[in-house]
Amino acid sequence: MKEQYKDDIPLDDDGNPILPVKANDNPEWYVIHCYSGYENKVRHNLEQRIETMGMKDRIFDVVIPTQEEIEVKDGKRRVIERHVFPGYILVNMILTEESWYVVRNTPGVTGFVGMGNDPTPLRPEEVSQILRRMEAEAPHIKVTFKEGERVRIVDGPFNDFRGTVDAIDMERAKVRVMVNFFGRETPVELDFLQVEKA
């Protein structure tokens, strides 16, 4: 079934849209939108279409911005890959009507980010910032607790003590917990990974 286009997009003799795409010989990064949770499937679909439709000379890279995150669950550390921008995928391509059509009509792609049918490329500094964030050496630690919440200490000399989160220092990845120690509330500074939600 052919995708229905809005009336303001003229069609050629084959029924394909004649797009107001500003052709550009330089590859640029564009953002496409898809349903959140389907990013990997859409990337796979798009990479297959690039291969089968011979677009490797115009569509060069498909990237899902991710970041490694350490999650503590049931006292066990796990490194998970989290999508930085759920529902968005970056595509490095030379924008032509054909490359636009291949990307836009990939199953799962809901559209390009930009005004109407004119995709807006990312600025080079935006791209380098996103790619730098992906290549950060230290995984980001997922914090599942917030100030005022009850937590359990899972590591260190206060193992198995329970307390209340007093302050969170994201820069240093430290948390201050008020622990009842010998009948007095005592502040204890801990690493994020030494604490989990009670």
Which domains are present in the chain? 28-140 (3.30.70.940), 144-197 (2.30.30.30)
pLDDT digits (tens, 9 = 90+) for 24-83: 578 999 999 999 899 999 999 999 999 999 999 999 999 999 888 877 666 667 788 888
Q: What is the enclosing helix (H) or strand (E) of 134?
A: helix 124-134
Q: How far apart are CA 195 and CA 155, in angstroms?
A: 7
In angstroms, how far is CA 47 from the centroid of its own chain? 18
First to last CA, the chain: 52
Tokens at residue 37, please?
């949770």
Angstrom CA distances, 173 to 13, 182, 190, stand at 60, 27, 9
pLDDT digits (tens, 9 = 90+) for 79-106: 888 888 999 999 999 999 999 999 999 9
* CB-based contact 168:146 (threshold 8 Å): yes
A 10 A CB-CB count for 110 gives 12
- More confident call, 125 vs 139: 125
Question: Pairing relation of β-strands 66-73 and 59-63?
Answer: unpaired
Tokens at residue 52, please?
């089968």
pLDDT digits (tens, 9 = 90+) for 2-21: 444 444 455 666 666 655 55
